[in-house]
Copies of this chain bind each other. A is one copy, B any other.
Amino acid sequence: MSMFSKEEAQLLEQIMRSRRDVRGNRFIDKPISKEVIDQILDAGISAPSVGFSQPWEFVLINDLELRNKVKTSFFEENEKAKELFEGEKLDAYSRLKLEGITESALNIAVFYKPSHHPVLGQTAMEEAGVYSVVCAIQNMWLMARALNVGLGWVSILDPNKVKKVLNAPANRQLIGYLCLGYVDVFYENPELERLKWAKRKSKNDVVIQNKYE
């Protein structure tokens, strides 16, 4: 049973604080080795899962034709999104680079595969299965950062169109579409914080004692 030191916990904190959502304007043209990809996938499959169900599947997409089809869905959904913002927000939104589908070295589509049988721990909260897959993605994100690989999560997509492009079986659910690659720089702060798109909340804003008033 490993016990960790204060310094080791501090290193974890540093990895967490250095993790960024990376878009196509930061990726550089450098392949990721199979060894590094395997380390990132190993982090994913060491995530917690409800009832040890491990309900995840990872589609590694090198094929540029497939990626361009996914990118078409991004363009469509991004145009729809612009209709929801106005004035300065719309100007700022339009200037943002929000994906790196073709600029990145690798795309990974992460799916939830539901079980055919009842799953321990999932009987009262069905959504716990999907949450397990999100835990896997967060593990991958942290491991990518520790390996100095940038990762961006693209959520401006029609999940059903992506499923079709990847020929996914009907019962699969797209949870995350990830773009991975080496970068020229990891920003010190989240890009949306730097651009004053949204303010960082403090702990006091989000911590409640015992119950809501």
Contact = CB atoms under 8 A, between A and B. Distances in A.
Contacts of A159: 125
Q: How many A residues touch the partner, as a band?
A: 35 or more
A185 B208 CA distance: 30
A143 B155 CA distance: 26
Contacts of A128: 155
A167 B211 CA distance: 6
Contacts of A14: 2
B123 A156 contact: yes
B59 A212 contact: yes
A128 B213 CA distance: 28
A27 to B, nearest CB: 15
A19 B147 CA distance: 20
A164 B39 CA distance: 42
Contact of A58 (B62, B122, B124, B206): B206
A39 B9 contact: yes
A145 interface: yes
A168 interface: yes
B43 A16 contact: yes
Given A16-B43, A60-B209, A165-B211, 13 more contacts: A1-B188, A2-B186, A4-B145, A8-B15, A9-B143, A13-B43, A54-B201, A59-B212, A120-B197, A125-B155, A131-B137, A135-B138, A167-B212
